[in-house]
Amino acid sequence: MKLEQIPIILGVIVLLVALAIGYDAFSPEERRPFRERRRRRRADLNRGGELLVALGTASMGAALIGRDSWRWGNIAVFAGVALLVAGTSLNRQFLKELLLFRGASRRATGDESGPPADDKPRDKMRIR
């Protein structure tokens, strides 16, 4: 294997990742394998933003495959960055929850929005 083939292989891998993201953007909600196990409802994923991320990733993969000899490489990279930024901005609430809210997840039944309520009201705490 020659050293010049490494960007092509990386580009194909990036294109396969873009294909997986695009498939996830087009797949119906019923086919998703998980059920909600969090205390509160998760932010909705914007399908259009996910598709923009897939297109930006595919553009980056095409720029990697094209290497330095492709005449549209710079435009593909700039378009890829713009698509990635647009897609992440549409899904910023989902990404914020994904990256920042790191707690123990509890299984919630139905449409529970908070932790289980305690039966006893706690007006004053008794301190000894």
- Span 80-104, pLDDT tens digits: 999 999 999 998 888 888 788 766 5
Confidence of residue 115 (pLDDT cuts 50, 70, 90): low
| % residues pLDDT > 90 (the chain) | 40
Q: Is the pLDDT of residue 42 over 80?
A: no
- Span 45-84, pLDDT tens digits: 888 999 999 999 999 999 999 988 888 999 999 999 999 9
Average pLDDT over residues 118-124: 56
pLDDT of residue 102: 65
Q: For every residue of 27-74, which 3-state class applies, written as one string? A: CCHHHCCCCCCCCCCCCCCCHHHHHHHHHHHHHHHHHHHHHHHCCCHH
pLDDT of residue 126: 66
